[in-house]
C-alpha cells in the first residue's frame, strides 16, 4: 500500500512539473528573434514646428500633478530620495537600468512621492533671459537607453523580483536655448520597443508575441513634449536642472498624457537627461502578465529614459 501511495505521489509530482513547464513554455516561448530592428527612421515632428506651436501657446502654466500609484519599491529612481537622479560629473553619465535592478531586488516600505508642483516651485528660478543661444542636439541611441521595470511574483516559491528590459534604439532631437533655458524645445522621441531585452529570452518573446505585441506595434512614441519648470535665465554650463517632462505617450495604438520626473545636465555639447514615469499597463489596454498564478506581474510599470544627446552635425 505504501508503495502504491509513493507511486501515485511520484506520478502527481511529474504531472505538475510537466504542466508547469508547458505553461512556462507557452507564455515564454523560446524564440527571441525580433521582426523589426534598428533605430526608428520615420520623420519626427520638426523642432521648428514645435517652436511655432510654443509661440502660439505661450500662456501655458505650471499646474499641480500627483503621479499615479506607481512602483514605489523601485527605490533606485525614487524621487523622494535625497540623492539626485544624475550622478556627479566625475561619475558615469547615468545609473543604467540593469544596475538599478540590483538595487530594487526587495520591496521596501512605500514612501510618498512629492508632487510636480512642489518640485517645479523649488527649481524655477527668477532671472533675466539673455540673447538666444541655440544648440541643436541629437539623441545617440548607442549611448542611451529606454527601459521598463516591472515587479513579478513567482507563486510557487513566493519570490519577488524586478523584471527589467532595455532597448537602445531611440531617435529624437532636442534644442537648448542657453540664453533662456525655458525656451528649450524637444522633438518627438521614438523608441523601438521590439528590441527590448531582459535577462530572460522567453519573457522577451512573450512581450513581442502576446503582452505588448511589439512584433505588430514595434514603436513607442512620446509626442507633443513640454519641459515644465525650466528657469527663465541663461544656462550655466554643467549645472544640474530638475524639471517635469509632459507628453503624449503612445503604446500599441493607445495614447495617454504622461509626466516624467526629469533631471538634465549640459556640458559643452553633451546633454544627459534621465527621466522616469509610472504608468498602469491597463491604461494602455495591456493586460499585466498572469500565468495562471504561476508568475504574476504588477499592473504598474516604471518607464525610464536615460538619454545622451550630442550636437547635431
Measured CA to CA, the distance from residue 150 to residue 250 in angstroms comes to: 19
**Do the beta carbons of residue 278 and residue 147 sit within 8 Å?**
no
Q: How far apart are CA 255 and CA 220, in angstroms?
A: 10
pLDDT at 124: 47
Q: 154 is written with which cell numbers?
A: 513567482
Tell me the C-alpha distance between 131 and 128, whole Å.
10
DSSP for 190-212, please give it. EEEGGG-B-S-HHHHHHIIIIIS
Domain boundary assignment for the chain: 1-30, 34-311
Neighbours of 230 (CB within 10 A): 24
Quick one: pLDDT at residue 300?
92
- pLDDT for residue 233: 96
**What is the pLDDT at residue 122?**
41
Cell digits of residue 271: 546633454
CATH code for 34-311? Answer: 2.40.128.110
Tens digit of each residue's pLDDT, the chain (313 residues)? 655 555 555 555 545 444 454 444 444 455 545 566 666 665 455 677 766 766 665 433 322 223 333 333 333 334 334 444 677 766 678 888 877 765 544 444 444 444 434 344 444 455 677 788 999 999 999 999 999 999 888 776 667 888 899 999 999 999 999 999 999 999 999 999 999 999 889 889 988 988 889 999 999 999 999 999 999 999 999 999 999 999 999 999 999 999 999 999 999 999 999 999 999 999 999 988 777 667 788 899 999 999 999 998 7
Contact 167, 195 (CB under 8 A): yes
Half-sphere exposure of 230 (CA within 13 A, CB side): 28
Spatial separation of the C-alpha atoms in residues 58 and 50, rounded to whole Å: 12
DSSP 16: H
Phi, psi of 20 (to 5 degrees): -60, -40
Contacts of 135 (CB under 8 A, 6+ apart): 175, 176, 178, 266, 269, 311
Using only the alpha carbons of the chain, give its radius of gyration: 22
Secondary structure of 243-289 in the HEC alphabet? EEEEEEEEECCEEEEEEEEEEEEEECCEEEEEEEEEEEHHHHCCCCC
Tell me the DSSP string of 10-29. HHHHHHHHHHHHHHHHHHS-
**On the CB side of 146, how many CA atoms lie within 13 Å of its CA?**
23
Amino acid at each position: 500500500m505504501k508503495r502504491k501511495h509513493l507511486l501515485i505521489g511520484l506520478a502527481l509530482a511529474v504531472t505538475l512539473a510537466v504542466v508547469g513547464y508547458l505553461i512556462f513554455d507557452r507564455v515564454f516561448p523560446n524564440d527571441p528573434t525580433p521582426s523589426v530592428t534598428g533605430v526608428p527612421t520615420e520623420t519626427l515632428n520638426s523642432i521648428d514646428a514645435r517652436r511655432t506651436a510654443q509661440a502660439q501657446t505661450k500662456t501655458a502654466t505650471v499646474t499641480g500633478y500627483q503621479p499615479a500609484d506607481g512602483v514605489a519599491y523601485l527605490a533606485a529612481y525614487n524621487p523622494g530620495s535625497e540623492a539626485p537622479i544624475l550622478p556627479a560629473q566625475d561619475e558615469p553619465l547615468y545609473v543604467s537600468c540593469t544596475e538599478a535592478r540590483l538595487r530594487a531586488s526587495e520591496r521596501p516600505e512605500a514612501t510618498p512621492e512629492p508632487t510636480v508642483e512642489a518640485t517645479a516651485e523649488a527649481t524655477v528660478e527668477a532671472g533675466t533671459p539673455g540673447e538666444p543661444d541655440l544648440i541643436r542636439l541629437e539623441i545617440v541611441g548607442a549611448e542611451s537607453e529606454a527601459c521598463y521595470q516591472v515587479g513579478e511574483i513567482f507563486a510557487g516559491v513566493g519570490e519577488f523580483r524586478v523584471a527589467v528590459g532595455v532597448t537602445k534604439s531611440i531617435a529624437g532631437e532636442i534644442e537648448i536655448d542657453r540664453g533662456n533655458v525655458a525656451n528649450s524645445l524637444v522633438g518627438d522621441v521614438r523608441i523601438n520597443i521590439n528590441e527590448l531585452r531582459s535577462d530572460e529570452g522567453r519573457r522577451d518573446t512573450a512581450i513581442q508575441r502576446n503582452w505588448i505585441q511589439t512584433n505588430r506595434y514595434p514603436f513607442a512614441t512620446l509626442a507633443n513634449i513640454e519641459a515644465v519648470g525650466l528657469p527663465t535665465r541663461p544656462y550655466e554650463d554643467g549645472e544640474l536642472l530638475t524639471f517635469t517632462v509632459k507628453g503624449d505617450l503612445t503604446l500599441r495604438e493607445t495614447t495617454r498624457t504622461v509626466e516624467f520626473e526629469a533631471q538634465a545636465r549640459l556640458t559643452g555639447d553633451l546633454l544627459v537627461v534621465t527621466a522616469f514615469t509610472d504608468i498602469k499597463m491597463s491604461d494602455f489596454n495591456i493586460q499585466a502578465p498572469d500565468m495562471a498564478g504561476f508568475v504574476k506581474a504588477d499592473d504598474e510599470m516604471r518607464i525610464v529614459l536615460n538619454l545622451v544627446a550630442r550636437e547635431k552635425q
